[in-house]
Amino acid sequence: MRQIPITPEGAECQHGEAMPFQAGGAHAVWRSVVLRMVLGLGAALLQGEAIAASGPVDLARSESEGAAVPGAEFRVYLHREEPSRADGEWTLDDACAKRVLDTVVGALAELVRRRAEFPRFDESLRRHLLDRVVIEPRVRNREGQEFPLLAARTGEAGTVRLLVSAAMLDAHGYVGYAERLAPILAREFQWVVSKADTSPKPAVTSAARNLVGATVLADGVIRRLSGSEREQAIRHLFGSYLRTTDDRRSLDGQSYYEVGVDRLLPPTQPDSTTKFYDIRVREALQIVVREPWFWEQTPKAVRGLLNGTVWAVAVVKIDERDWATRTRVLSEDKAIAVGTPERMVQPATVLVNLCRKAAPEDPFFPHTKGLPMGALSAKQLATVIALELEHNLTEKSQAGHVAQDEQSAPK
Inform me whether the pLDDT recorded for 198 exceeds 80. no
> What are the pLDDT digits (tens) for 268-294?
899 999 999 999 999 999 999 999 999
> What are the pLDDT digits (tens) for 130-150?
999 999 888 887 767 788 898
pLDDT at 51: 36
**Which one has a higher pLDDT value, 329 or 398?**
329
Inform me whether the pLDDT recorded for 407 exceeds 60. no
pLDDT at 41: 35
DSSP secondary structure string for all residues of 326-338: EEEE--GGG-EEE
- Asked whether residue 318 is domain-assigned, the answer is yes
Same structural domain, 250 and 186: no
Inter-residue contact 15 to 173 (CB < 8 Å)? yes
Quote the pTM value.
0.63
Same structural domain, 233 and 343: yes
How far apart are alpha carbons 176 and 49 in whole angstroms?
Answer: 9
Inform me whether the pLDDT recorded for 326 exceeds 50. yes
Buried-exposed string 342-378: b where 16+ CB fall within 10 A, e elsewhere:
ebebbbbbbbbbbbbbbbebbbbbebbeebbbbbbbb
Inform me whether the pLDDT recorded for 86 exceeds 60. no
How far apart are alpha carbons 194 and 150 in whole angstroms?
Answer: 12
Same structural domain, 232 and 337: yes
How far apart are alpha carbons 185 and 164 in whole angstroms?
Answer: 9
pLDDT at 208: 67
- Asked whether residue 99 is domain-assigned, the answer is yes
How far apart are alpha carbons 65 and 151 in whole angstroms?
Answer: 21
pLDDT at 290: 97
Same structural domain, 143 and 266: no
Question: How many other CB atoms are found less than 10 A from the CB of residue 409?
Answer: 11
Question: Could you list the residue range(s) of the whole structural domain that residue 129 is in?
Answer: 7-199
Same structural domain, 169 and 224: no
Q: What's the burial of 410, exposed, middle or buried (CB within 10 Å: 0-12/13-18/19+)?
A: exposed
**From 19-28, 237-246, 305-314, the region with the lowest mean pLDDT:** 19-28
- Asked whether residue 52 is domain-assigned, the answer is yes
Residue type, position 168, single letter: M
DSSP secondary structure string for all residues of 343-363: EEE--EEEEEETT-B--TTST
pLDDT at 156: 85
**Which one has a higher pLDDT value, 93 or 73?**
73
Say what percent of the chain tops pLDDT 90: 51
**From 109-123, 166-180, 191-205, 314-328, the region with the lowest mean pLDDT:** 191-205
Average pLDDT, the chain: 80
Inform me whether the pLDDT recorded for 411 exceeds 60. no
Same structural domain, 142 and 252: no
Question: How many other CB atoms are found less than 10 A from the CB of residue 408?
Answer: 17
- Asked whether residue 14 is domain-assigned, the answer is yes
pLDDT at 180: 92
pLDDT band, very low/low/confident/very high, at 92 (cuts 50, 70, 90):
low
- Asked whether residue 281 is domain-assigned, the answer is yes
Query: For the chain, what is the domain count?
Result: 2
- Asked whether residue 326 is domain-assigned, the answer is yes
pLDDT band, very low/low/confident/very high, at 93 (cuts 50, 70, 90):
low
**Which one has a higher pLDDT value, 111 or 212?**
111
> What are the pLDDT digits (tens) for 149-180?
988 888 888 899 999 999 889 888 999 999 99
Same structural domain, 193 and 237: no
Same structural domain, 119 and 241: no
Domain stop point among 145, 171, 199 = 199
**Which one has a higher pLDDT value, 55 or 366?**
366
